[in-house]
Amino acid sequence: MGYNWNWGVFLQPTASGGDTYLGWMIHGFKTTIALSLSAWLIALALGAVVGVLRTVPNKVLSGIATAYVEVFRNIPLLVQLFLWYFVMPELLPEKLGSAFKQSNPFVQQFLSSMVCLALFTSARVAEQVRSGINSLPPGQKNAGLAMGFTLSQTYRHVLLPMAVRLIVPPLTSEFLNIFKNSAVCSTIGLLELAAQGRQLVDYTAQPYESFIAVTLAYLLINVVVMFGMRWLEARVRVPGYIGGK
């Protein structure tokens, strides 16, 4: 194979000057982390609310929540991204829309990506929350209500604390997914980790080094997430209950 390995490429100044290629990669890495974490926090909050609503007795509320989940779960992520980035600004009230379009391109790309990933993931989180609540013995809800708790107190003190513990393992895979899905955002020009990798290939013609570095960076993120979630799982384990001691 006539390939010239050159790991030193990362330390070279970029063709456009001012930074090394390693600096580009680090910038992309930071963008991926910031994007994924912010979207994840929104997805958790929204997903918890929507997941709970799917289980409430009120038919209107649970219907709205079901529609939400089906919409955001069944449209391909890439299409959703294009809708948020290209279509949504046109649908905003004119002032807001033009303010958005005149803002820094990075801000436009970042915001669209964040909202897109957050809503897409929130639908999946909502499904986990719903299945967690539904997997609890039905008597738990009755026990809460029979103590004099209102329905929302029953969710707050009885159902959710157990449901959330039960869904830590499936949530781990959603958390991993959001980092991997964030690579899709390179299609609207956001210079996150995958996009920086491709850009580095364009500038240096060193695809192996570039994508090996990108792969390792994603791997690093996922290993950290996995260990973090495992630690969390052990920490919230209930004594004498599934998997507890």
Q: Name the residues that contact another protein, by CB under 8 A.
A: 137, 139-140, 142-150, 153, 157-158, 161-162, 165, 238-241, 244
- Closest contact distance (angstroms) between CB of 242 and another protein is 9
Residue 88 or 136: the one with the smaller Cβ distance to another protein is 136
Cβ closer to another protein: 9 or 162? 162
Grouping H, G, I as helix, E, B as strand and the rest as coil, residue 20 is strand
Residue 131 near residue 55 (C-beta atoms within 8 A): no
Residues forming a β-bridge with 20: 13
177: closest CA among 40, 78, 42, 57?
Answer: 40
Q: Would you say 158 or 221 has its CB closer to another protein?
A: 158
Shortest Å distance, C-beta 128 to another protein:
18
CA distance 109 to 113: 6
Alpha helices in the chain (DSSP H): 21-55, 59-74, 77-82, 88-91, 94-102, 105-134, 138-146, 151-153, 160-166, 168-181, 193-204, 207-235
Integer Cα distance of 112 and 118 in angstroms: 10
178 residue type, one letter: I
As measured in angstroms, the least distance from the Cβ of 171 to another protein is: 17
∠40-191-22 over CA atoms, to 5°?
Answer: 105
With respect to another protein, which residue has the nearer C-beta, 18 or 139?
139
Residue 44 or 162 having the CB closest to another protein: 162
Q: Which is nearer to another protein, 13 or 161 (CB)?
A: 161
**Shortest distance in whole angstroms from residue 151 CB to another protein:** 9
Smallest distance from another protein to CB 145, Å: 6
Smallest gap from Cβ 59 to another protein, in A, equals 15
